[in-house]
Amino acid sequence: MAQNPELAARGPATVPALISVGALVALFHLYGTLAGIGPLRDLPIVPTYAYRQLHLGLVLFIAFLAAAARGRTPAAKLIGYSLAIACALTFTVTVINGDEFLSQITHPQPLALLIGVATIALVLEAARRTTGWAMPIISLAFILYALFGRSLPEPWAHRGYDLNRLVGHLFISSEGIFGTPVAVSATLIVLFTVYGAVLDRSGAAEAFVRLSGRAFGSSRHSAVGTVVLSSFLLGGPSGSAVATTVMIGNVGHPLLARRGYSASQSGGLLAAAGLGAVISPPVLGSAAFLLAEVLAISYVEVLRMVLIPTVLYYVSLYLVAEFNAPSMNEGDITAPLPRLGALETASHLVAAGSIMVFLAVGFSPETAAVFSIATAILLWISRPRNGARPPDILRALHDGVMSVVPVAAICACAGLIVGVITLTGLGLKLSGIVIHLAGNDLLLASLLAALAVWTVGLAVPITGSYIICAIVVAPALVALGVTPIAAHMFIFYLAVLSEVSPPTALAPFAAAAITGASPLQTTLQAWRFTAPMFVLPFAFILEPAGRSLLLAGEASFWATVSSVLIYFLGNTALVLSLCPRAFAPFHGIERFGLLVAGLLLMFPATLAFRIDLTSTSIEVLGFLLTSAMLVLNYANRTRSKVITEQNL
């Protein structure tokens, strides 16, 4: 396993202390989840609101502590430690005076006002240090809007709020910093990141890559198949695009290089494969937990909704990668990866799959995550080779907490944004503006919504992008007749694309660091591999059958199967239109025909409404056009073969 770059950057004297603090923070969250349940019912329970405060305080504390440890100069270290101390004092006062502060929401007293301003400042600084300037600047813009909105022209103007009223709402009420985003971070995200870190440290990445390599053997499809399959196996329990990209990259890049992929192509495929982690059961990304909370549905229901889109994504990725693969000689076959022991492989698979078992038998996601962590650690300890030692377990717990630091900071900033929107009514204003610009046309509204989500995603990671757009964009789509589930899934899937959109193209940048390619070229290649995913979300909101892809409609079983198969065929046609060849190199007319056929099959109802045909007629036309283009391409292959034989 490659060493964690964050740990490598710190001095050896500070690493053990930092790891210990991180492990203690992880253990606090495990305790907070299990206290009061089953055999532990007699243990003291941490009150809900205090638990959120402690979660954010501890995570920000370790963020500043890590920043101090990484400081290159005495001044940087002093600032980091000072912020850590300020964070500890601020949140200690917050937890101790929690009940008293709650009675001061509309008129905070001087102490509450001071602590509130300090908390907001610490949140913004932590977000700046862990995620860059985008979220703090956006959060500050919303705060300024709340303070000075009275001076703005219509339709943006509002009554305006003074500092006391704003701090009370953002710091004390449940609609601000300690609202839903931080609640989800404290109860779900941190547990699943710890779970992923334990799997990572235990060697699951290497095991899954080797298992995938053995599954594909030494065929010419081995390299692509190994990367795609291993990303699915590892991405499901990881939930992180960057982590999955890095974990499969060190083994996958040499395989792709031998297959003939350039460095940028290899990096793009690795990034696209890693991106699948954010949409793959059982963990998905952090935004998926927020989606379940916002829609007030169970997390298991979210897992069910993403099942078919996940399969479509990986199939599309494999097809795009394989049909774009460089030509190769028959002797240039990728060698299979070395075999792992059967028991070790089985232990990794059980550790990764345990979360699904616990969810299936009825445990809550939080409890299932804790039990899965325990299962993974016990299996890790019991391995005859490379078994876990106490330092390994502590390091894994620490890694999990460090992974949640930027997410928690984003969630806290999102709480500031949500608080301003609910206080000022900005969400309704923005929704009305979108509807007005679209002229009540759902297709145009969907394009405007996609542009808004993509624009936010250029600067904000997935979690922040989803939260902002779920508040601003989703109400406009729902007002035009889209179901809340479809609207939020539309936003979620487009927000995921922020991982391959500069300047926050984290997964391609991580892949470029492994392959040595240009980050920009790697990002462009990642766009190419993920292109079908840009189209998929539109089916959720534009097509009546689109909900079948989410398994959220009321259609019969066979109607759902029919819709899925038709969309799959359309998606395949769209994928082929992006590739240079199928049976033979594509001519321009064949590529264009496949593109049109794919759109006909994927959006029959939308197109039928505009060209006065039935949906069935559109689907038949799309099927015939797809067949014609593939037959034409096959005929070109046969003709080329005949000409070659005649020349010989």
DSSP string, 52-100: HHHHHHHHHHHHHHHHHHH-SSHHHHHHHHHHHHHHHHHHHHHHHTHHH
Could you give the percent of the chain with pLDDT greater than 90?
24
- The conformation of residue 205, written as its DSSP 8-state character, comes to H
| φ, ψ of residue 602 in degrees (nearest 5) | -85, -25
Domain boundaries, the chain: 5-176, 183-413, 555-648
Peptide linkage before 406 cis (omega within 30 of 0): no
| Predicted TM-score of the model (pTM) | 0.82
pLDDT digits over 331-381, tens only? 444 555 556 667 777 888 888 888 888 888 888 888 988 999 999 999 999
Crossing angle for the helix pair 299-323 and 519-542, to the nearest 10 degrees:
130
| CA distance to 157, 197, 282, 374, 629, per residue, from 368 (Å) | 47, 16, 11, 10, 49
pLDDT digits over 440-497, tens only? 888 898 998 888 888 888 777 788 888 888 888 888 898 888 889 999 999 998 888 7
Helix, strand, or coil (residue 593) = helix
| φ, ψ of residue 473 in degrees (nearest 5) | -90, -40
Residue type present at position 231: S
CB 471 within 8 A of CB 427: yes
d(Cα 57, Cα 79) in Å, to the nearest integer?
A: 17
Helix, strand, or coil (residue 160) = coil
pLDDT digits over 230-264, tens only? 888 877 777 778 878 887 887 788 888 887 888 88
Query: Where are the extended beta strands (E) located within 329-443?
Result: none
Question: According to the model, what pLDDT value does residue 429 have?
Answer: 78
CB 281 within 8 A of CB 313: no
The string over 602-641, giving b where at least 16 C-beta atoms fall within 10 Å of a residue's C-beta and e elsewhere, is bbbbbbbeeeeeebeebbebbbebbeebbebbeebeeeee
Question: According to the model, what pLDDT value does residue 120 have?
Answer: 95
Question: According to the model, what pLDDT value does residue 388 have?
Answer: 81
Peptide linkage before 580 cis (omega within 30 of 0): no
| CA distance to 156, 157, 341, 440, 466, per residue, from 435 (Å) | 16, 19, 59, 6, 20
CB 467 within 8 A of CB 418: yes
Residue type present at position 457: G
Could you say which residues of the chain have pLDDT below 70?
1-15, 217-221, 327-341, 503-504, 553-555, 638-648
